[in-house]
């Protein structure tokens, strides 16, 4: 059973920054597709970013490109999401997610997630 434990959420003002972290096991971090999702009140959960392939392959939704960076630390078994220039519309519960490397999906945003963390709240005020 894969366990994902998020931390690092909080409240910041517009243009501020936060760094989210997700603790998991080494095998999952190295070989699974790891991602961050978010869900704002009254909205569906949506993908934010994904990482795979030795940390080289990264993908972002358009709304966070240039502001967010997904990365992983294999020594600490941690997945991170560095969020800069935060906006009020980034306010949401953020979830760490993982899915096995097989079968592959051409559209990462639509790939089904097998494991979820419990979530960490991010609130951005104007």
Cα 92 to Cα 95: distance, rounded to the nearest angstrom: 9
Find the mean pLDDT for residues 110-123: 96
Whether pLDDT at 43 is above 80? yes
Per-residue tokens: 1: 């059973």
pLDDT tens, position by position, 76-89: 999 999 999 999 99
Find the mean pLDDT for residues 1-22: 97
Which residue pairs, CB below 8 angstroms and at least 24 apart, start in 40-46?
40/89, 40/91, 40/92, 40/93, 43/92, 45/95
Give the number of other Cβ atoms within 10 Å of residue 55's Cβ: 16
pLDDT at 26: 92
pLDDT at 54: 72
pLDDT at 106: 86
Report the share of the chain in percent with pLDDT over 90. Answer: 90
């Amino acid at each position: 059973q894969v366990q994902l434990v998020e931390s690092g959420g909080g409240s910041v003002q517009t243009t501020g920054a936060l760094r989210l972290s997700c603790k998991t096991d080494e095998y999952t971090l190295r070989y699974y597709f790891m991602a961050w999702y978010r869900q704002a009140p009254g909205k569906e959960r949506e993908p934010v970013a994904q990482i795979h392939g030795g940390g080289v392959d990264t993908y972002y939704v358009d709304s966070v490109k240039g502001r967010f960076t997904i990365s992983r630390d294999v020594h600490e078994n941690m997945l991170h999401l560095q969020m800069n220039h935060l906006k009020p519309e980034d306010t949401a519960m953020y979830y760490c997610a993982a899915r096995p490397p097989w079968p592959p999906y051409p559209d990462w945003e639509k790939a089904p997630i097998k494991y979820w963390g419990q979530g960490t709240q991010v609130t951005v005020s104007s």
